[in-house]
Amino acid sequence: MKHTKREWMPLYSFLDRKRVTDHLADMAARGWMLDRLGTWSWHYRRTEPKQLRFAVTFFAGAGRFSPAPAAGLDTFQDYCAQAGWHRAASSDQVQVFYSEDPAAVPIDTDPAAELENIRRSIGKPMIRNYLALLLLCLLEVAFQCYQIWTDPVDTLASPTALLAATAYLPLLVLTLASLLLYRRWQWRAEAAVEAGLPLPDLRSARGLGILVLMWSGLLIAGLFASISRSTGMVILTIGMVLFFALVYFLANAARKALQRLRCPPWANLLVIVGICIAMFAGGTTGLFALMIRNAGSGWLEDHPPVETYTAHGMTWSVYADPIPCGWRT
């Protein structure tokens, strides 16, 4: 019997608190207690089935790069425990609590203070991240449009170029939708505060997230289909994926280590950026060296050249491509 389980890609917004807490309560009733919140999955451990109440709140001092544990977080959790709420799991600013008391007083009782806490803890960082992602997507889309405008024949005739042109569109749509939905939620939340009502939830865009994942899967499948005739390109692509995974692993490990050492957020971020720049500089240098060394060998092409020759100090390839001769009558 398994004693732990993972829920991959839950696709819940933590501002969609009722759906999140209802889901966690349903899992607890089936004997699965939330144990850890990860970037890509939620981790559960097997327990006795219980009827529990869950609550999602936020702590502004527990940022992605802030020292861990954040100053004041232990005190906050102690206050919650005295009120009958016990910590289940947390991820940066997000704090998930549970209570066995059906009459326990909610953690957040003042809508105005709750809204301000949400803005400081996750609202402003989320907007900054989404705006940076939006800028990246717009730059990439603009570059691909420029490629189509300046060289439409070669761009539209290349499957790889077409994949690159559409790769960022789903992410662009998801980013824009997230920003607009959050802004709309802000207006509704401010109206609720003025009326003295509880804050509304920001409904999770799970359908859009699933569509983006499906589109990403199709793009990956199309990428490998377009390069499948070149063994070298397949190996190179897999190597690049592994390289990105290594960069993520090293940067994440360094971030957590610096958090435990209680380094200030700016120093933590600076180290992470330095690691990424150094890794990408080294990777780019190695990639160019590999391509230059294998130029003319046909290793990275879908069909090898029939011969090569050297002119002006450079190696050139000759291909035996069939030349169309027009329609036959």
Quick: pLDDT tens for 263-301.
898 899 899 999 999 998 988 888 788 777 766 555 666
Q: Which residue is listed with tokens 């991959």?
A: 8
Are 122 and 183 members of one domain?
yes
Q: Which residue is listed with tokens 């089936």?
A: 30
Please, which pLDDT band fits residue 201 given cuts at 50, 70 and 90?
very high
Number of C-beta neighbours around residue 279 at 10 A: 17
Q: Give the model's pLDDT for residue 304.
A: 64
- The string of pLDDT tens digits covering residues 300-310 is 665 666 677 77
Are 123 and 185 members of one domain?
yes
Are 314 and 239 members of one domain?
yes
Among the residue ranges 49-53, 138-142, 155-159, 174-178, the one predicted with the least confidence is: 155-159
Q: What is the mean pLDDT of residues 22-38?
A: 93
Q: Which of 47, 81, 107 is the last residue of a domain?
A: 107
Q: Give the model's pLDDT for residue 299.
A: 60
Rounded distance between C-alpha atoms, residue 185 and residue 190, angstroms: 9
Residues 6+ apart with CB under 8 A from 116: none
Are 97 and 124 members of one domain?
no
Any domain includes 115: yes
Are 239 and 269 members of one domain?
yes
Any domain includes 222: yes
Percent of the chain with pLDDT over 70: 85
**Can you read off the two tokens belonging to residue 14?**
């933590």
Are 222 and 114 members of one domain?
yes
Distance, first Cα to last Cα, the chain: 72
| pLDDT above 80 for 166 | no
Residues 6+ apart with CB under 8 A from 243: 279, 283
Percent of the chain with pLDDT over 90: 36
Q: What is the mean pLDDT of residues 35-60?
A: 91
| pLDDT above 60 for 97 | yes
Alpha-carbon distance values, 266 to 136, 270, 277, 279 (Å): 22, 6, 16, 20
Q: Which of 75, 107, 139 is the last residue of a domain?
A: 107
Are 297 and 222 members of one domain?
no
CA pseudo-torsion sign 172, 177, 178, 182: positive
CB 40 within 8 A of CB 75: no
CA pseudo-torsion sign 279, 280, 281, 285: positive
Phi/psi zone of residue 242: left (φ > 0), alpha (ψ -120 to 50 degrees), beta?
alpha
| pLDDT above 90 for 62 | no
Are 315 and 236 members of one domain?
yes
Are 196 and 239 members of one domain?
no
Are 208 and 157 members of one domain?
yes
| pLDDT above 70 for 321 | no
Any domain includes 17: yes
Are 214 and 282 members of one domain?
no
Q: Give the model's pLDDT for residue 328.
A: 53
Any domain includes 328: no
- Residue 87, amino acid: R
Rounded distance between C-alpha atoms, residue 303 and residue 261, angstroms: 53
Q: Which of 228, 253, 272 is the last residue of a domain?
A: 228
- The string of pLDDT tens digits covering residues 229-264 is 667 777 777 888 889 889 989 999 999 899 989 889
Any domain includes 325: no
Q: Give the model's pLDDT for residue 298.
A: 57
Parent domain of 280? 229-320
| pLDDT above 90 for 27 | yes
Q: Give the model's pLDDT for residue 227.
A: 67
Q: Give the model's pLDDT for residue 2.
A: 81
Q: Which residue is listed with tokens 């859009």?
A: 208
Q: Give the model's pLDDT for residue 112.
A: 93
Please name which of 185, 195, 59, 69 lies closest in space to residue 114, comparing C-alpha atoms: 59
Q: What is the mean pLDDT of the chain?
A: 84
Q: Highest mean pLDDT range out of 135-139, 169-173, 285-289?
A: 135-139
Are 224 and 245 members of one domain?
no
Q: Give the model's pLDDT for residue 229.
A: 67
| pLDDT above 70 for 315 | no
Q: Give the model's pLDDT for residue 85.
A: 95
Any domain includes 178: yes
Domain count, the chain: 3
